[in-house]
Amino acid sequence: MASGDEFDRIFEEYVADIEAALPVVVGWFERLKASRKYTEQGFSIDDIWPSLTGSHPVMIRIFRKHFLRLAILIESLDREEELEDEKEPSEEDWGTDDDDFEDKEDEDEDEYGDRPSEPYQVLIERLRAERTDLYAHFRQFMFIPIGLEDYLLVEREVGNE
């Protein structure tokens, strides 16, 4: 089963991609603001680009790339856990009563334990907690890559065609 190291690696690559893109993205946004293209028409820049620098196509591409990587990882871990749960008990388990284990399980325990269950937990929530400087570029970021193509990509990568 995959460890938290894989989530850490994806997060670190995500941060590196954002840092590499920022000079170009910030330059684009500064030129856009300086052009007064929207304010002359009575619009606030926030009305047109609510995520500000996060609205740049490169930032959306970076988010999408790592969102899908995380979706594949999470789906793969979910499937591994399902297969583990479906295994027949071994002879070592014979003679134990399922009721013996009931007290050991916390009824309110999250089925995912400590690992993320959704990509946004790594891409947005962790970024907000660990890299507030970069999180500022995703203010009001409202993009979740959805659709049949993305789902099929995840299914194909996980090996469930």
Q: What residue segments make up the domains of the chain, in order of their start?
A: 4-85+112-158
Residue type, 61: R
End-to-end Cα separation, the chain, in angstroms: 21
Mean of pLDDT values over 13-20: 98
Q: Is the dihedral of CA 39, 45, 49, 55 positive or negative?
A: positive
**Residue pair 119/67 in contact by the 8 Å Cβ criterion:** yes
pLDDT at residue 1 greater than cutoff 50: no
101: left (phi > 0), else alpha (psi -120 to 50), else beta? Answer: alpha
Give the per-residue pLDDT at 152. Answer: 58
What are 151's two structure tokens? 């789902």
- The CA distance from 70 to 66, in Å, is 6
pLDDT band at 75 (very low <50, low <70, confident <90, very high): confident
Give the per-residue pLDDT at 97. Answer: 62
